[in-house]
Structure 1
Amino acid sequence: MLVLGPIGFAAPWVLTALIALPALWLILRAMPPAPRRVLFPGVALLLGLADRSPVARRTPWWLLLLRLLAVAAVILGCAGPVWRPVAQAELDGPLLVVMDAGWAAAPDWSKRLARAERALKEADTQGRPAALLLADGRAEPAPLSFTTGERLLARLRAAQPVSWPSTLPEDPQDALSNQPDGRLTSLWISDGLDHPGRDLWRAELAARGLLRVHVPSRRLLSLELNDSDEPALLLHGATQGNRPAILAIGPDPQGIERELSRLATDGATVGAREDALVVPVTMPPELRNRVRRFQIEGQSHAGAVLLADDRVRRRKVGLVGDADNQAEGQQLLSPLYYLRRALAPSADLTEGGLGDVLDSAPDVVIVADQVDMADADELADWVRAGGMLIRFAGPRMAAYQDLTSEPLLPVMLRQGGRDIGGALSWGDPRGLLPFAADGIFSGLNAPPDVAVRAQLMAQPSPELSERTIAALSDNTPLVTRQRFGQGQVVLFHVTANPDWSNLPLSGVFVEMLERLVATAKVSARGPDSSDRAQPFWTPEIVLDGFGRSGAPDGLSPLPAEELDDGPGPGRPAGIYAAGERRIALNAGGPVTTATWDNAVIEQETQNAGLALRGYLLALAAMLLALDALGSAAILRGGRVLGAILLCLLCLPSPQAQAQDSSFLDPELIRAADEVALAYVLTGDAEVDRTSREGLQGLSFALRQRTSVEPGEPIGVDLDTDDLSMLTFLYWPVTDSQPAPSPLAYLRLNHFLRSGGMVLFDTNDGDVAGLGGPDMSQDLRRLAAPLEVPPLAPIPEDHVLTRTFYLLDDFPGRWSGNPVWVEAPPAAGQGDVTSGFRQLNDGVSPVVIGANGWAQAWAIDEGGYPRFPIRGGWEGERQREMAFRFGINLIMYVLTGNYKSDQVHVPELLNRLRIEEGGRP
């Protein structure tokens, strides 16, 4: 590129054409040959006469200047001028494009592809060999192949970001061993983060030649699960600037996946890392258990998605104690009954003996009044590995002779217990002290009506106060806790049933258990080398670099030890299963910005200069137009120019007329061009919104499954809009919409006669079915002025049943109601099976029903169904059948009744045989 001051030229050799401008000047102003003088006496009669239309002997200077300026503008435009271009070094060696392809590169992936493609094309134009290194870690270790840039474009355009960090080859010298001669020019399109091996590659590339680094300017955020007792998230990179919310996404009660909650980050505290915010998961347990993923609002990469696994969802709690049918008292006196009722809404429960419970890999084990257990050693190993053991006192524990030697107790206990409110005691039952503000039960209210009549006392010790997490009004411990290895043991000094207190009958008992269970580590026996560890983990759901979930096609089960390494090549971010356990490999983590020494930084927002080519060519066109007008003025003495100006002034200005306003409506023009589906505006905002979202969902299904690609739906005002450009009109019938004007009915009747269809939907299928073709009173009121043919329920052989799908029912949000179309001709008036009225190619001009099709088709901005249909699999099956009916209906409108001609196939074949001289 040639740079002259603030202007650079991409093709400076074109400027040599400017040399021809002086010669062009001489040619354009050349004089005609001088006339030969011949004496003729009659010329004397012409002396004194003036020539009213003189012909210039020379081209005027101003016209020459216009022409020369036009030619100069064309020459300068073809030279590729750029205002204030970015200075580029003259390069002649090979080019290497290194492109980070991890999840951090996903937000602006298209811009990265465009930058790499531009670099490869420039190298190809200059005849320089090029190589492409995608830092996704999936390629086998091998030297890079240097070839033409054109051959690399297909591979570049097919590249996609992965759901693990960018991964570079370990040995840069081995990868660059095939480098051609010359100084290497490297373009590193970085994702802005530091990765293992980056410094090694940076130093090697800087040593081999010029290293340019394309650095993004946007702020990168990522999401990680906080390793703490309380469920919380770590939002990395959000301590400065705006803090986006975190969306909790999962299925609603109807099974439709949508946003369940929004976690605000404005008041989040800074965690141990200064770049991370701790965002508590403040959701009810039953709602949190439905969450499938957390996602940073407005971020579209795998690092912004945190898949929810067992660590976020319901804990598995094992209950060990006397079975209900073996309890000494009634079933309501069994400790397990109260534990079961308290934990069932928020946890998965398993019951049985201690060995059976441990085999189920629980997160929490609750033992109710059990001592001297047979599998105590195995239980101790489980606790040390990270499990939580919750024990409850009782008569059996109080009477145990060797209570001081009982293992897995947080404090030393006294034998016999303490009777506070019994008949032989002098004291009154004790209440609860307020819970400590910094303890595990902080925020819970201690009810004043809770009374403890008996408890198991702890031996006094210096550690007793710090191990007490809940106490009675006399400061004696109610709940104690102690760490054992990676796990913990919690003891309630009262029974789990109302024998010793009314605590199990209060709401705070449920809250205390939920708080304890929520702080337990999930599945203490993780993927380790223990006897219960699963050797392989199978991927169930995987993410791509953009954070979109998909099926794990072609992925094999992973050994358990590889899960600790996080996402990587061959193990993308996703959900992995082993038996009943689910573990999530999430891509998000700390965000460490990369530094680039000995490199030329190329900012993403850096202005590459203003291209002047278009402006100069436009100037040349304008100058040539002025030249034409000037030439006409000279040749005709200004008469031609005046005539042109007069014609321009006399042109009539466009007048807007009411009857032509529809032709100027860009939405109607777009609807005709894109085959957009239309709906009638009723004046009810909610009904109109449902109609629009319903037709959006149907349009999406048509684009996905058929060759029809409708545009965005359009709302139609029957009183003002022209319907001649439309094909299909959805009309939801409501009791509040006014009847259209007489002119609107004229347009509607013309629409029906010219091949259009109206789908009337009374949407009352859940209240009452349709009793006949007259439909409801509101439908009669709205449809009375229309030229509607006789109607009948859709017969079994109607083409609507086989236009695209084979159907025998036409449900929407509701089902079981008849759908009415134009009735077939009566016997003796035509072939019933050949179709219906031939005015519209056999297409019924109206379809009437009450099944609420728009609600069944409706989708929200995220593409999820907006209205529930029944429940479970049957509801989704009905929604699918509603979409199939909609597709059949639109194909029926667009293609006519052609499929009914199949009944004539035998007759046509028979006629062909006769014409060919064969026998019928």
Structure 2
Amino acid sequence: MSLSAITFLYPAMLAGLMVLPIVWLLIRSAPRSPKNVIFPAARLLRGLKSQRRDIQRAPIWQTILRCLILTLLIIAAARPVMNRNDFAQNDGAVLIIADNGWESAANWTQYRTALQQIANQARFDLQTVYLAQTAPEAAGASTWKLPEIVGPVSSQDTVNLIDRLHPRPWNADYTALSDLIAEKPEMNNAIGSIIWLTGDMDGPGKASLAHELQDIAPITVLSPTRSDRLAITSLTRTRTGMVATIAHDRNDNPRVINLLARGERGTVLLRHNAELAANSDQSETTIFLPSDIANAIQSVGIEGVESAATMFQTGARWQQRRVGVIVSSGDSPGVLSDQYFFLDRALSPYAEVTYEPLGKLLEKKVDILVATGPISGLGSQFDALERWVNDGGMLVRFAGDSSTEIGNEFLPVTLRLGNRDFGGSMSWEKPKRLLDFPDNSPFYGIPVPNDITVNRQLLAEPDPDILGKTWARLTDGTPLITSAPRNSGRVVLFHVTPWADWSNLPMSGLFVELWQKILPLASPSNRNDAELSTSLPPQAIMDGFGQTHQPDALILPVRAPLPVPSPRHPPGIYGENGQAVALNLGPSLTNVANTVTWPSGVSTRKITDRNQVDLAALCLLGALLLLLFDALILLALHHLTLRRNRRSNAFGSFLLLIGVGGIAAGLLAVSPNNARASTIQEAALQPRLAYLKTGVPPVDRLSQAGMTGLTEYLRRRSAADLNTVDGIDPETDELSFYPLIYWPLVDGQEPFSERARERLNSYLNNGGMILIDSRDREVQPARLRRLLAGLEVPLLDRAPGDHILFRSFYLLDHAYGRFSAPLWLDARPNQRLDGVASVLFGGNDWASAWMIPEGRDEIRTEDIAPRQREMAVRFGINLVMYALTGSYKGDQVHLPAILERLGR
């Protein structure tokens, strides 16, 4: 370890050393305090002499000691840092490859630490940086590609890029990165070292990319200290609960993880210990659950591992439906077991099946009724069955045997008399096969086996809308499965019997797959949806950490069969209600247990947070110790004087040194701010607006100017007379007296402490409102994930144009600011708080638009058009009125009814 490894983050602060000679002269020229001597007046008269008293200088040891204290404080303000490790040994630019595929999410905190360390070292060594990512992003209308390699950029710009980097919920593309690097020969000539942040999991083209990079520059691989690789690859529903399959890396010893099953709004329903088998790459765990709890499960994840691969969502297909098979009251159990064998085998793993007469099934309010032939007991229950279907029930019917007719009631199509035979002794036709399922069928995408044959069927009349009602058809075009809506319900007809006399369909695996598609369509939450859709739009998608958020315009709908997760189809829920399907990352992962083999010559290291030592704290500690040492010496030298006079100069000097030390230590603050939070008494007497201190002086000054300008506009245009603006710190200041807090985001902002998170949660839960401003037009709620960790932030949704916020004072249609990006707010505001949104998020740089520009240099006034500034001010006034008065404007919709009552 050498002194050359010490560098200063803020070297300009060392200019304070130039004042040391002045301090030296001041200390040396200051006279020491005179001694008080008590003597008789007569002695003074007798020994009167005219003598001049010389100035007594401070001792040299005291001057040196105090100059040394000031020197330590100045050095501490310059933030000296010692590098204990050297990432890039060679000169030239540094190529950073940040592996941001799904595997990186579980260790992203360590990745960010390493990226910050590399950027700091590049600043110390005056090196430029190239930054490459391995996860592709959406590009064009329906494709995706790797982001371009950024560089060369300075170390400061690298810090800004790192703050915007985050993991993706899909696989990395090393082959595409190899092609991208090969297309930049000028970059390859400038690179002196390559630093690759990645885990030890192998991937297609990963080792080959390392071979190619060795021809450019030496490679250093930084890996996280945690090497566990986990993914939930399947979640299967059983009669007694569910079975979870977990893919993991091989280990000599068994390991235990916790599975968390969550319900609606993230409520934890179950915590289950699962053991990962030793010397294996896959483990299964069986969880026994009651049916009602299993039905309520929305997702299953691994506790403590934030990754899209460890989060498995269920979708509508997961919930078990209650299916009632209509039987006659006299049917014996033996008849039922023989007659409904194939139907029971197809339904029982995925639904609760009950065999009872029609009347009892209607009383139990089942989701699906199944009739195999004529509906037994229809005469007395006709009206009840019709009401049940019209209210959203699903009736599935099958053809009866050759000696019975199924009737004309409750059918999706009109049937011809008699049956149609294929392959009989009296027929010239051979048995028919199935065609591929049409686009309008919920079975679309299911492969049709070649061995499915039909010998007999019920033939439908060729109605004009027969094609829209057909879910499956034979090779000659005749329908095999038809369906039609009936008010809010649906009727489905299999034109064959549920046993194997007319067709071998019931005894095939295809019959099970068909029922797996039919069962979710009977979702109780979808009883008013009579139309089916095979193109499923995204409803909620997952980011790399496995957290769900609202989709944007780059996400495309999915169709069966489900695609592999990609930038256009990230993991999440697609479709609505009964057709909602879950696209999960885990089932597509096949290389979780594979470990990469690096070529010889590649240096591998672990990421650690001890690669740099901040010496500023040591300098402060040394200054404090020297200050105490100086005070102790003064107390010892003037002990007798201190006993006579409590206000002696030694004690005064001690207090003076403490004051000087406090002022010098204040130089360490990254962002001094003159604005302070008001006392509780002042805030309670008159409301005022506030902004969160960021620690960046220009941003804090701009926030203060913007909120002050908005306060002045409110005073001019409305009856709201607010007091002066406060800059607050949630760590120390009381927040409950501020109706609105403005929070500007800055690059490199650290997350809140535990105390600050508790204060902010209490503020939001009791009716507070926070406006978060990214100030760069990039309105992405997922960007707040790191800063808002631990805060109870609700699900955000894009603000509609008719929201109360846009008509609380002025009639607006947008959240105008310096820019015109969309505004995001609570998707489902708490009704306990009068339905008022507590968190609003956007990127329109509102403070710049609200400030009164005279005398300000943070932003040029010509950057904002006068019309844009006026609309921004109107939005600000609307925002404050919304924070102060809530949703009272929404009550005006009842004004006609109120006037009518007053007229009476």
Alignment TM class, shorter chain as reference: 0.3 to 0.5
- Give the TM-score taking structure 1 as reference length: 0.45
Q: Which has the larger radius of gyration?
A: 1
- Give the TM-score taking structure 2 as reference length: 0.46
